[in-house]
Amino acid sequence: MVISSSNSYSKSNLDNAKVSSAETIKLKRFTQNGQIQIYQSPYRGSYSSIIRDSLRNAALGRKVLLVQFMKGGVKQGVANSVKLCGNLTWIRSSNSYDQYDHKEIENNKSLKKSIHESIYELWNFCKEELISGENDQIILDEIFLAIEMNIIDKDDLISTLENRFLSGDVILTGTGIPKDLLLMANQITELRS
């Protein structure tokens, strides 16, 4: 996997560098643009390498947000994120499709609504994080499935990506990727079995 480097310069006194006790050099600020990386696969559940790399990045000091839209579990969701390596925040849907049988969801409108609301809550949290610029890397796992199921609006994702804080990398995963999102990507990786 290709990862762009993070901003590791000192945040204090960004405009001046002291070369010797008598000489100061004016510096020009350098802003790095983060990449949009897309990982596509013909089947779900093939992104373990991305999760592995997010753990490695967090252990190396990068601030990482990993959001799994379609996976969930007991006591998950925005309020119950898991912290790993001091720098990795891992959030899953509080109520997800993977917890129930597909027919059970389709036959129970209340359950379906609850699942959609849980995924949409994650998306609203992600939008704030993308705009804040506080993360070095944000992974939106299976976001394309949420778009395909009409839970998240594709145009809302595109607009948010266009207006994000540019220093952090964004990784998007999924199976059916809309063409306009493919055109936004700096890197596209197809995972095969």
The residue that leads in pLDDT, 96 or 135, is 135
Q: pLDDT tens digits for 14-46?
A: 444 444 555 555 554 444 568 999 998 877 766
Q: Residue 68: which of 48, 42, 84 has the closest Cα?
A: 48
- pLDDT the model gives residue 138: 95
Domain boundaries, given as residue ranges, for the chain: 33-190
Task: Say which CATH architecture domain 33-190 belongs to.
Answer: 3-Layer(aba) Sandwich (3.40)
pLDDT digits (tens, 9 = 90+) for 66-85: 999 988 766 788 888 888 88
Q: Nearest to residue 123, comparing CAs of 108, 105, 144, 137?
A: 144
Our separate counts of H helices and E strands in the chain read 6, 9
